[in-house]
Amino acid sequence: MAGIRFEKDIDYHNEDDGELTAAEPSTPRSRRLQSFVDEYGTYRPHLSRIDHIKRYLKKQFATFTFLCCLNSVLDKIPLLRCLKEYNIRKNLFGDIIAGIIVAIMHIPQGMAYGVLTTLPPIYGLYVSFFPVIIYMIFGTCPHLSIGTFAVISLMIAQALESVIQPSMSIINNNQTSSTFSNDSDLFLINEKIGTATTLALLVGIVQLILSFLRLGFLAIYLTEPFISGFTTGAALHVFTSQIPLIFDIKAPRGINGAFKLPRFYIKLISLLIHNINLVSTAIGIISIIVLYVAKYLNERYKSKIRIVLPCELILVIIGTITSHFTKLHSKHRVSVVGEIKRGLPSLTVPPLNHWNQLIVPAITIAAVSLSISISMAKMFSRKHGYKVSSNQELLAYGISNVFSSFFQCYPSAGSLSRSVVQEGSGGKTLLIGGFSSIVLGTVIIALTHLFRSLPMTCLAAIIIVNLKGLLFQMKDFMFYFQISLLECILWTMTFVSVLLFDVDIGLYVGMCTSFVINTIRTQKPRFVVLGQVEETGLYKSIVYFPSGHQYSKIKILRFDESLYACNAPFFKRKFYELIDIHLSYSPLISWGEKTQKNHKNEPTYKYVILDCSPFNYIDTVGVKLLIQIFHDLKKRGITLYLSECRLEVRHTFDVMKFYEQTESDTVYVTTHSAVMAARNALNNESVNNDETNELVESQL
């Protein structure tokens, strides 16, 4: 069976002078692309753009039934599917346990990140409550823990500072600042909360717009090296922001612009010398060490003890109790959380007064939150085999931000550390969020006042220890350095620009870098000379296959990238170099041996075959260049053959009238057939030459 197949294979390569040659006497059948397509292919007319649109609409309308519409509306609420397919016996217990564990993590993290946004800690708890409920209804990833997240909290703090600082300075100028200190503090906090909720509303609107425009696919441009570099840099900013809390000093303010971090540290050190609170520092450092060790042990012996220890909550409880009974605040001036409003916030419309200043931060925050959340959701979906839709996720984030903004919440996003716990604690469905919210709601309504003695330094310790994962991404640099230089450059550019400037500038620099890198990647591809490997029909690089056979007067080349405007100049230069045509000048001054002038000599090669298999597309510049090279080579007595052109390339050839401008037998199906055609032509030529010589001789 296989034997026959291969005999036929010979036929194909060898059917030079078969029965069909009568119709096309000059060239062997099937070798040239056009005849190959004519014989085996089918004619498919190129649809115009309008026909394409018509066909698409027709297809859409064909599936447009009531049931279909209803289903697609219901598909926007994944909770329904979850409830429909819910298996109480299998899932309920796991979901409840996971919900409780995540809620327990939410409490300290919520308060800590609330502090990070420079708002009172209770607002972090709100963000751990409302968005989670909405995400449960509209989200698609059961393991993603929506709520407070370090990088986003930092960006909110920056946005608040940039908006509030100027407006406060105006107010301060208008009134004598010393007298109404307490009132002004209250005013400041109210102003901040209003701004933060406006920001949440705007972020939600941006996400909803992206979702309605079905732009969720944009998340793919936020590639892994970019996200890794970005979050690592941001984590260093978050880490820096927590240091003043550990030492219990007032953070240096108003440091903006380039090289923010080093300037911050310089200012910090001068502040530290005078103001350090040793008790608070001791508590903070002990908390960090204990928490780190506890988490490490927990991680290590997880398989044995089979439960996730709520280390952070234990720290918070111990910290609160210690602080309460040793009167840390009154005796040692350690900053504590202080009096907390009790109960859920009432419905309040975001004030919107700074909305125009907040649009740019809102877009940036929306971009960061979607990039981090969606990449996490995709990671879990890969691991567990459920489907996560970017557009549905965007819808969920959008609705949860818009809804929550009416309940005094700042923008929310998925948190890496909580999500990992949520995944590990055995929950399986979206209901985890519901159970978590029930626990958290109870805490917010009834128990918040218990935390008023909690030292702030404990909260800072929780944030710092949670940054471990993000900071350890630093080793991704080495990974990319070893494997891919361009991805390493992307990582470094993003990381360094986040570090030196700021989170938002880093985002934009990173985005631009990733687009530029996609172009650079195609700039200087390998341009290889091919040789026939032994007696097979395969042509491989003669550098890696030195036994590859090169025929005299035939050069076979392959350019390992699509030919287009940005690499066309490189292609041209290298192409001539490889076929020994020197476009460069001879040296101006030379003595001794005369340099050989190849310019007017007989060309080394009579046939050049370009293997176009790497061309995934070709643009107008590329086609023009090929036409120009074809004619230039013809002038020099060299024939150019192309082989293995793919559909996309052939289509561009068609519309650019390539065949009309060159010759019809330029394109061959395989490199091997092009080589055969060239060898035949060379044989014929030498026969003809002999004949001519004979003729000349006979005429003599």
Using CB under 8 A as the binding rule, the residues of this chain from 218 to 257 that contact a second copy are 220-221, 223-225
Residue 676 engages a second copy in binding (rule: CB under 8 A)? yes
**Contact residue for a second copy among 19, 22, 23, 42 (CB under 8 A):** 42
Query: What's the min distance (Å) between Cβ of 6 and a second copy?
Result: 4
Residue 544 engages a second copy in binding (rule: CB under 8 A)? yes
Choose one: 40-48, 100-108, 256-264, 404-412; the region binding a second copy (CB under 8 A). Answer: 40-48
- Round to whole Å and give the CA distance between 9 and 1: 13
User: Which 252-291 residues touch a second copy, going by CB under 8 A?
Assistant: none
Choose one: 79-87, 146-154, 403-411, 497-505; the region binding a second copy (CB under 8 A). Answer: 79-87
Residue 41 engages a second copy in binding (rule: CB under 8 A)? yes
Query: What's the min distance (Å) between Cβ of 208 and a second copy?
Result: 22
Binding mask 609-628 for a second copy (x = CB under 8 A): ----xx-xx-xxx------x
Query: What's the min distance (Å) between Cβ of 13 and a second copy?
Result: 6
Query: What's the min distance (Å) between Cβ of 521 and a second copy?
Result: 6
Choose one: 243-251, 254-262, 276-284, 647-655; the region binding a second copy (CB under 8 A). Answer: 647-655
| 329 CB-side CA count, 13 A | 16
Concatenate the DSSP letters of all residues of 421-473 into one string: HHHHTT--STHHHHHHHHHHHHIIIIIGGGGGG-BHHHHHHHHHHHTHHHHGG
Choose one: 104-112, 125-133, 142-150, 557-565; the region binding a second copy (CB under 8 A). Answer: 557-565
Torsion angle of the four alpha carbons 380, 385, 391, 392, in this order, in degrees rounded to the nearest 10: -90
**Contact residue for a second copy among 588, 593, 595, 698 (CB under 8 A):** 588
| 474 CB-side CA count, 13 A | 9
Query: What's the min distance (Å) between Cβ of 421 and a second copy?
Result: 24
- Round to whole Å and give the CA distance between 237 and 150: 10
Cβ(569)–Cβ(602) under 8 Å? Answer: no
Query: What's the min distance (Å) between Cβ of 48 and a second copy?
Result: 10
Nearer to a second copy, 69 or 349 (CB): 69
**Contact residue for a second copy among 406, 545, 551, 659 (CB under 8 A):** 545
Find where tokens 């006497």 sit: 25
Residue 669 engages a second copy in binding (rule: CB under 8 A)? yes
User: Which 413-432 residues touch a second copy, going by CB under 8 A?
Assistant: none
**Contact residue for a second copy among 27, 240, 322, 541 (CB under 8 A):** 541
Binding mask 123-152 for a second copy (x = CB under 8 A): ------------------------------
Which one-letter DSSP state was computed for residue 529? E
Nearer to a second copy, 277 or 389 (CB): 389
User: Which 558-587 residues touch a second copy, going by CB under 8 A?
Assistant: 560-562, 564-570, 583-585, 587
**Contact residue for a second copy among 19, 40, 257, 356 (CB under 8 A):** 40
Cβ(665)–Cβ(27) under 8 Å? Answer: yes
Residue 3 engages a second copy in binding (rule: CB under 8 A)? yes
Which has the closest alpha carbon to 402: 204, 206, 208?
Answer: 204
Query: What's the min distance (Å) between Cβ of 610 and a second copy?
Result: 15
Nearer to a second copy, 309 or 486 (CB): 486
Cβ(246)–Cβ(457) under 8 Å? Answer: yes
Query: What's the min distance (Å) between Cβ of 227 and a second copy?
Result: 10
Number of H helices, E strands in the chain: 29, 8
H-type helices in 249-277, by residue range?
Answer: 260-275
For every residue of 322-366, which 3-state class applies, written as one string? HHHHHCHHHHHCCCECCCCCCCCCCCCCCCCCCHHHHHHHHHHHH
Angle at 371 between CA 75 and CA 106, to 5 degrees: 80
Number of shown-chain residues binding a second copy (CB under 8 A): 105
User: Which 481-540 residues touch a second copy, going by CB under 8 A?
Assistant: 482-487, 512, 514-516, 518-519, 521-522, 525-526, 528, 533-538, 540
Give me 577's structure tokens: 């170099």
Q: Output 301-305 pairs: Cβ under 8 A, ≥24 positions apart.
A: 302/424
| 177 CB-side CA count, 13 A | 8
Sign of CA dihedral 227, 114, 244, 505: positive
User: Which 364-393 residues touch a second copy, going by CB under 8 A?
Assistant: 378, 382, 387
Nearer to a second copy, 75 or 339 (CB): 75
Give me 105's structure tokens: 């993590």
**Contact residue for a second copy among 87, 590, 698, 699 (CB under 8 A):** 590
Nearer to a second copy, 61 or 591 (CB): 591
Query: What's the min distance (Å) between Cβ of 516 and a second copy?
Result: 5
Query: What's the min distance (Å) between Cβ of 478 and a second copy?
Result: 13
Residue 546 engages a second copy in binding (rule: CB under 8 A)? yes
Nearer to a second copy, 12 or 659 (CB): 12
User: Which 4-33 residues touch a second copy, going by CB under 8 A?
Assistant: 4-14
- Round to whole Å and give the CA distance between 342 and 316: 18
Residue 637 engages a second copy in binding (rule: CB under 8 A)? no
- Round to whole Å and give the CA distance between 695 and 397: 86
Give me 658's structure tokens: 């390539």
Q: Say which amino acid occupies 315.
A: L
Beta-carbon contacts of residue 586 (< 8 Å; ≥ 6 apart): 595, 597
- By three-state DSSP, how is residue 611 classified? strand
**CA distances in angstroms from 26 to 16, 639, 680, listed in the order given:** 10, 17, 12
- Round to whole Å and give the CA distance between 621 and 18: 39
Nearer to a second copy, 66 or 325 (CB): 66
In terms of Cβ atoms closer than 10 Å to its own Cβ (0-12, 13-18, 19+), residue 597 is exposed
| 291 CB-side CA count, 13 A | 29
Nearer to a second copy, 14 or 172 (CB): 14
Find where tokens 């530029």 sit: 516
Query: What's the min distance (Å) between Cβ of 538 and a second copy?
Result: 7
Find where tokens 């460069």 sit: 584
Find where tokens 């990140």 sit: 113
User: Which 82-111 residues touch a second copy, going by CB under 8 A?
Assistant: 84
**Contact residue for a second copy among 17, 55, 69, 71 (CB under 8 A):** 71
